């Protein structure tokens, strides 16, 4: 699949211990109040039979290699005598979930993702043997599973994920898209891009002595990734304690309990309801222990809970509305027999032949073809990652952050908006006031912004605006402010579309604030009435 490409943003990644409970509960409450209901989208025609004789190694390439996608479509055309294969979008009417793998660098995210693909039959033994030899030649024998997800040479040499890897696998009830986010603090913007497309998160923590502590202490990416995931709408989190097979751990219940006891309060402070939204489980990504099948009592006699696949299958996420206005934030574009855009359907449904708008440039386009995973489909519903071939616009006229939108109710395009912000940690000796500049991350938009006016400060205890006029604020403050950008961007009010109305502000490699859009200039509603 296509991978999201952004320029790495280097610098320290220090954060405070977590955003206050009140702020996070408020976001949760809004999400529940405004989460649209849904019926499971289905097609009139049954899916054609699957061809079980497809070469698995070729399938792997279609899953992970960016440059192979047009070739995959060519193969489909030749197989059908020059006609592209038309398949049903919800192949066996399974639900579809996007899973982002997050965590500190070297926690084992890519290795765990690669092992999942191997255990689910997406990778054959010949490919694994090839990767084993390649890793051994680089004197990196334990990295071979990560090579399934880390496909470019830079990632394999460094042993660090840079771009968001993307792959697919299925269980008995669910189709999953894996989003393998980079763990290094220099590539947090890429991690934000991956997490913004996800429905659920898998937080990978290394149980190896010293590695958990490095990721958890201030400046470690375990902390920042959890806070960003919550802000970006990842409402359910699986916390997997990896590397339990390491000689320093040896499936120790004491080590597992120590990690769980330290992570639980931090997850609570980041806004997660640990009992309802989080689940801990031990595993070994390298060996595949406790992943597809439960670990045997001979290896670990104290774990009686589910394995990873069972835990993923059991997660329930809010249903989406397939009849809402169409919203597809564009994460990438390329040429392939026309202009093709990539993105996740956040709202509504899309069908071949639809006439749509690309905002903010109001370009009228027509849908020529839709692809889910590697299959051409007639229509697709909310939550699906799609590639859409369009007519009526050139590839160079589209930028990441543009939104494919319905004509009847297009998305708002603005230069400024009012937002409620939670200040996390400003740079050393900095104060937050009018004129403050930062980088805005909202859905697939990355844009420089400026705070043009501080409107109100919110009392964190009463959740009501303070009467005193605010000129500046410091760490921990909750404020309502007006934010301005240089180029027109597509956003929605958080109360209408939570996925398109939540954002982060970053400066010099640090996440300094999280927020939500509460008012747009065109809406005409007063700022104070939008404060909750």
Using pLDDT thresholds of 50, 70 and 90, give the confidence band for residue 20. very low
- Do 205 and 242 meet the contact criterion of CB atoms below 8 Å apart? yes
The pLDDT of residue 166 is above 50: yes
For the segment 30-66, what is each residue's pLDDT rounded down to a tens digit? 444 444 444 444 444 444 444 444 444 444 344 443 3
**What CATH class does 413-519 carry?**
mainly beta
Instruction: Indicate the SS3 state at residue 176.
Output: strand
Which helix H or strand E contains 473, and what residues bound it?
A: strand 472-473
Give the sign of the dihedral formed by CA 392, CA 395, CA 396, CA 398: positive
Cβ neighbours of residue 264 closer than 8 Å, sequence gap 6 or more: 274
| Range in 81-85, 185-189, 452-456 with the lowest mean pLDDT | 81-85
| Range in 121-125, 153-157, 236-240 with the lowest mean pLDDT | 153-157
CATH of region 95-314: 3.40.50.300
Rounded Cα distance, 91 and 99, in Å: 19
Given this model, what pLDDT does residue 258 score? 92
Using pLDDT thresholds of 50, 70 and 90, give the confidence band for residue 526. very low
Q: 486: how many CB neighbours lie within 10 A of its CB?
A: 10
Rounded to an integer, the average pLDDT of 388-407 is 91
Rounded to an integer, the average pLDDT of 168-182 is 81
Given this model, what pLDDT does residue 138 score? 67
User: Which segments of the chain belong to CATH 3.40.50.300?
Assistant: 95-314
> Tokens for 71?
């070739």
Given this model, what pLDDT does residue 404 score? 94
Residue carrying the six token digits 């905002």: 359
**What CATH class does 327-406 carry?**
mainly beta
User: Which segments of the chain belong to CATH 2.40.30.10?
Assistant: 327-406, 413-519
Rounded Cα distance, 519 and 525, in Å: 7
Rounded Cα distance, 207 and 245, in Å: 9
Strand segments (E) across 360-402 = 363-372, 375-377, 379-380, 385-391
Mean pLDDT of the residues in the chain:
76
By C-alpha distance, which of 199, 184, 191, 120 is closest to 154? 184
Residue carrying the six token digits 């309990």: 257
Rounded to an integer, the average pLDDT of 263-276 is 88
- Do 165 and 151 meet the contact criterion of CB atoms below 8 Å apart? yes
Q: How far apart are the first and last CA of the chain?
A: 40
Using pLDDT thresholds of 50, 70 and 90, give the confidence band for residue 85. very low
Rounded Cα distance, 177 and 167, in Å: 6
């Amino acid at each position: 699949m296509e991978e999201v490409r952004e320029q790495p943003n280097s610098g320290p990644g220090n954060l405070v211990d977590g955003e206050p409970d009140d702020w996070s509960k408020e976001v949760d409450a809004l999400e529940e109040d405004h989460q649209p209901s849904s019926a499971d989208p289905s097609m009139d025609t049954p899916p054609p039979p699957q061809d079980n004789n497809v070469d698995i190694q070729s399938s792997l390439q279609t899953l992970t290699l960016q440059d192979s996608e047009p070739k995959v479509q060519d193969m489909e055309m030749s197989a059908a005598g020059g006609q592209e294969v038309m398949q049903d979008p919800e192949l066996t009417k399974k639900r579809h979930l996007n899973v982002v793998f997050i965590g500190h660098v070297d926690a084992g995210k890519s290795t765990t993702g690669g092992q999942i693909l191997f255990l689910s039959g997406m990778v054959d033994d010949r490919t694994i043997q090839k990767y084993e030899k390649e890793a051994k030649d680089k004197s990196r024998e334990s990295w071979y599973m990560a090579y399934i997800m880390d496909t470019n040479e830079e990632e394999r040499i460094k042993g660090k994920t840079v771009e968001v890897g993307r792959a697919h696998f299925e269980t008995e009830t669910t189709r999953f898209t894996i989003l393998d986010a980079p763990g290094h603090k220099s590539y947090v913007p890429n991690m934000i891009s991956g997490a913004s497309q996800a429905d659920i998160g898998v937080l990978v923590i290394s149980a190896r002595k010293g590695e958990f502590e490095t990721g958890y202490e201030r400046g470690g990416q375990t902390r920042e990734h959890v806070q960003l995931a919550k802000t970006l709408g990842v409402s359910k989190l699986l916390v997997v304690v990896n590397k339990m097979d390491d000689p320093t751990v040896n499936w120790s219940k004491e080590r597992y309990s120590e990690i769980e006891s330290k992570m639980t309060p931090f997850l609570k402070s980041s806004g997660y309801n640990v009992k309802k939204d989080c689940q801990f489980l031990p595993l070994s990504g390298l060996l595949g222990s406790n992943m597809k099948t439960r670990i045997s009592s001979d290896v670990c006699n104290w774990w009686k809970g589910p394995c990873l696949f069972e835990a993923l299958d059991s997660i329930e996420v809010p249903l989406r509305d397939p009849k809402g206005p169409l919203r597809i934030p564009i994460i990438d574009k390329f040429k392939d027999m026309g202009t093709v855009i990539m993105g996740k359907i956040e709202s509504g449904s899309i069908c071949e032949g639809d006439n749509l708008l690309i905002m903010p440039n109001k370009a009228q386009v027509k849908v020529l073809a839709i692809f889910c995973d590697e299959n051409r489909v007639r229509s697709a519903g909310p939550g699906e990652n799609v590639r859409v071939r369009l007519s009526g616009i050139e590839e160079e006229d589209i930028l990441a952050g543009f939104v494919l939108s319905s004509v009847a109710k297009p998305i708002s395009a603005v230069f400024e908006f009012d937002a409620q912000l939670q200040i996390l940690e400003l740079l050393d000796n900095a104060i937050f006031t009018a004129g403050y500049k930062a980088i805005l991350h909202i859905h697939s938009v990355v844009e420089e912004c400026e705070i043009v006016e501080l409107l109100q400060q919110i009392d964190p205890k009463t959740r009501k605006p303070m009467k005193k006029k605010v000129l500046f604020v410091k760490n921990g403050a909750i404020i309502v402010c007006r934010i301005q950008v240089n180029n027109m961007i597509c956003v929605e009010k958080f109360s209408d579309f939570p996925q398109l109305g939540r954002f982060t502000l970053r400066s010099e490699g640090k996440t300094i604030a999280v927020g939500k859009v509460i008012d747009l200039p065109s809406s005409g509603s007063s700022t104070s009435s939008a404060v909750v």
